Amino acid sequence: MLQFKITDSEFKLIRDFIYDHAGINLSDEKKTLVTSRLSKRLRHYSLNSFKEYFDLMIASPKDGEQQVAVDLLTTNETYFFREPKHFAFLEKEVLPNWKGRGPLRVWSAASSTGEEAYSIAMLLDDMLGNRPWEIFGSDISSRVLKSAQQGHYIQNRIDGIPKEYLRKYCLKGTGDHEGTLLIDSSLRKKVRFAPVNLKRPLGNVGEFDIIFLRNVLIYFDIETKRQIIRQLVEKMHPDGYLFIGHSESLKGIHDGLETVMPTVYQKI
């Protein structure tokens, strides 16, 4: 199989594209990743260089090959009930004290294949009973959102789900679907997924009581982080909560927020 090599100038073209489009800052150490993930597209189009691919990509509609490139260059790692301290805080501190002003609205703002959104959905359904709630899940990658909408997972991805939630909210696959799990339709119909580019104006996504923005800020530089946090704060209800990943920080960029505990902030 033909092995492609990327030149410094080609890498810069692709790095500038993904930064301008999505705010993702690729270091020089990511050359191997870019090469391996985009080589399949060179083969698909029978191209000889990454410059040829870049020119083809830029000439295509944004929802065409540009979106394919974004899908390939974004990292989507997630699993159910990731960083359990956040779910414990929701269960013990946030949900029991929620006063309500219409449905409780939660945004999983980097939802990947949906495990985070459905984890939140299980907890809300269990804790709130008949009180109304809804979840919005978004990602820049259209590929992972298709998986999220299906709510269909292989069983080795479900280790974090509490056993009582497995029984209540998950359907075990049989026959051709053996070894998989389907999120119950009662939850899936209350979780909506749509593409959102956090670097662009957010549009009419509504306002939220809780926003999860976990394990995505690490890919942005300080100015992009500041821009994203500013936009998210505008979409939060007063006293709303923002959760970020345990390896992340909002030091110096959390205007309008106060720290409740490490990686959890509340709108002032």
191: pLDDT strictly greater than 60: yes
The alpha carbon of 238 is separated from its chain's Cα centroid by a whole number of angstroms, namely: 23
- What is residue 69's predicted lDDT score, i.e. its pLDDT? 93
Give the containing element (helix H, strand E) for 267: strand 264-267
**Structure-token pair, residue 167:** 């029984």
Of 258, 221, 226, nearest to 241 by C-alpha is 258
- What is residue 50's predicted lDDT score, i.e. its pLDDT? 96
Give the containing element (helix H, strand E) for 134: strand 133-139
Chain segment 49-94, per-residue pLDDT in tens = 999 999 999 998 877 899 899 989 987 778 999 999 999 999 999 9
CA distance 163 to 121: 15
Chain segment 1-41, per-residue pLDDT in tens = 567 999 999 999 999 999 998 888 898 999 999 999 999 99
Residues involved in catalysis: 37, 139
- What is residue 1's predicted lDDT score, i.e. its pLDDT? 56
> Cβ distance 53 to 39 under 8 Å?
no
CA distance 75 to 112: 9
148: pLDDT strictly greater than 70: yes
- What is residue 170's predicted lDDT score, i.e. its pLDDT? 95
Chain segment 30-52, per-residue pLDDT in tens = 999 999 999 999 999 999 999 99
- What is residue 2's predicted lDDT score, i.e. its pLDDT? 65
* DSSP code of residue 34: H
CA distance 180 to 17: 37
pLDDT cut 90: percent of the chain above it = 79
Delineate the domains of the chain, giving CATH numbers in brackets: 8-73 (1.10.155.10), 84-267 (3.40.50.150)
Chain segment 97-121, per-residue pLDDT in tens = 988 778 999 999 999 999 999 999 9
* Mean confidence (pLDDT) of the chain: 93
Distances (CA, A) of 59 to 12, 41, 55, 62, 89: 18, 15, 6, 9, 47
- What is residue 68's predicted lDDT score, i.e. its pLDDT? 92
Give the containing element (helix H, strand E) for 260: strand 257-261
Going by pLDDT thresholds of 50, 70 and 90, the confidence category of residue 214 is very high
Residue found by looking up tokens 């301290």 in the block: 85
262: pLDDT strictly greater than 70: yes
Q: Which amino acid is at 26?
A: L
